[in-house]
Amino acid sequence: MKTSSLVLIIIGAFILLLGGCAGCNYNNFVKGDNAIKAAWSDVETNYQRRNDLYKNVVQTIQGSANFEKSTLTEVIAARASATSVKVDINDPQSLAKYQAAQGQLQSAFGRLMAVAEAYPNLKTTQSFQDFQTQIEGTENRINIARKDYNARVGAYNQQVRTFPGNIFAGMFNFHEKAFYKADEGTDKAPDIKFP
């Protein structure tokens, strides 16, 4: 066998090996990207469930006479803001905007629930008690969905950043995804004072 034929065979084998590695890595990137999209969809679904519950609670409270209208208005505005933010999971800034809007809604709703405590006849209605239970369950679902999303992002980012995946990720235009981060200030314990 001639040396040139042997060189061509070696080059051909190397190209096939490189193509096989590229194909495997590409497929893994696509699978990871799809898993992240599915996990994000679960996060959005649970936030939508919470928004729907908040709407129902607001409607129940609106039926209560003499309830503080400014607190209700604040929740309604925060809910409208939270539902209007569109997220591109490839854009960390849009994810941060979404997270901030959801935080504002949760904060406004927390103030609404605190004010609702001052209305004993509202607290005793079955629908209001049911909403409180459903909201607690929904908050747990949201937490699990965010955790699952971050786990998928972590696995994907590791593949995108480690060798040889990092070489192929750049070639195929796959980039790191943003994690869902804790709200600002949640790393500090709340200062609780009892009278």
How far apart are the C-alpha atoms of 178 and 23, rounded to whole Å?
A: 25
Residue bearing tokens 């997220």: 87
Q: 0.85 exceeded by the pTM?
A: no
The DSSP code for 189 is: -
Q: For Cα atoms 26, 86, 158, give the angle at the middle one, nearest 5 degrees.
A: 30
| φ, ψ of residue 178 in degrees (nearest 5) | -85, 140
Structural tokens at position 24: 């495997």
Each residue's pLDDT, cut to its tens digit, for the chain (195 residues) gives: 578 888 888 888 888 877 778 778 898 999 999 999 999 999 999 999 999 988 888 887 776 655 667 777 888 888 888 888 888 888 889 888 998 899 888 888 888 888 777 777 666 677 777 888 899 999 999 999 999 999 999 999 999 999 889 999 989 999 999 999 877 766 665 565 544
Counting every residue written for the chain, the total comes to 195
DSSP 43: H
* Cis peptide upstream of residue 164 (ω within 30 degrees of 0): yes
Residues 46 and 145: beta-carbon distance below 8 Å: yes
Q: With contact defined as beta carbons under 8 Å apart, do 180 and 43 qualify?
A: yes
